[in-house]
Amino acid sequence: MKRLMTLSLFVSLGACATTPEVFGGRGAVREAQAVQSTAVRYLAEHFEPSEFLGKPEAICLVVGQEVGFRDRIATALAARSADMDPPAFMMSQLRQVRPRVLPISACQWGDDLSEVLVDSGARAIAIGISHPLWVTPNLARLVVTVRENNKNWYRYRCSAERDEDGWAIRECL
């Protein structure tokens, strides 16, 4: 009986340790990063910064890599440590986005509590993105926070839909 229970325990642990493939033949982690990257591209293109603060030179990004407490930290933009930086694969997917996308550890709060780059002091905005909430394999919802300074920050609820061309933001309100 003990052998049977031990065997069933190892089988169930092995099943939990594997990442199931999802739509498109990619794993769940890559799929979540694809949705989050799509949201960053969308906001980089559509976000209108405050005129009095000027156009940012960079976007500093923090992403929720799992549902739960760290996800809430990411969207609250309370994180500044390197352990909350986006994964390297995700950053490589965002190389062509303008303004350029940097990890959150590259930003700090300036004297006026606005987002600035650590190395140059140039103006930036911070974007925090939650882990996707999967409605279906082809539909995900995200919470996104954009912070310009201590007084100007915006929260969006975005829906992303997957079609034959990949992920696209359906709405971001």
Nearest-5° angle of CA 108, CA 55, CA 144? 60
Query: Which strand (E) or helix (H) includes residue 143?
Result: strand 139-147
Higher pLDDT, 10 or 136: 136
Higher pLDDT residue, 79 or 111? 111
| Pairing assessment for the beta strands 124-129 and 58-63 based on DSSP bridges | parallel
- % the chain with pLDDT above 70: 75
Least confident of 14-23, 53-62, 89-98: 14-23
pLDDT of 14 reads: 44
pLDDT at 73: 67
- Tell whether pTM > 0.75: yes
Centre a 10 Å sphere on the Cβ of residue 56 and count the other Cβ atoms it contains: 22
Nearest to 92 by CA among 40, 133, 165: 40
pLDDT at 92: 95
Task: Give the number of C-alpha atoms closer than 13 A to the C-alpha of residue 67, restricted to the C-beta side.
Answer: 6
| Whether residue 88 has pLDDT greater than 80 | yes
Q: Categorise residue 107: left if φ over 0, alpha if ψ from -120 to 50, beta otherwise.
A: beta
Alpha helices (runs of H) in 18-144, residue ranges in sequence order: 28-46, 69-76, 88-93
- In the predicted model, what is the mean pLDDT of residues 76-102? 85
Q: Residue 151: its pLDDT value, please?
A: 86
pLDDT computed for residue 19 by the predictor? 43
Report residue 28: phi and psi, to 5°. -60, -35
> What is the average pLDDT across 105-132?
91
* Chain segment 45-72, per-residue pLDDT in tens: 999 988 888 899 999 999 887 666 666 6
Q: What are the domain boundaries of the chain?
A: 29-172
pLDDT at 65: 72
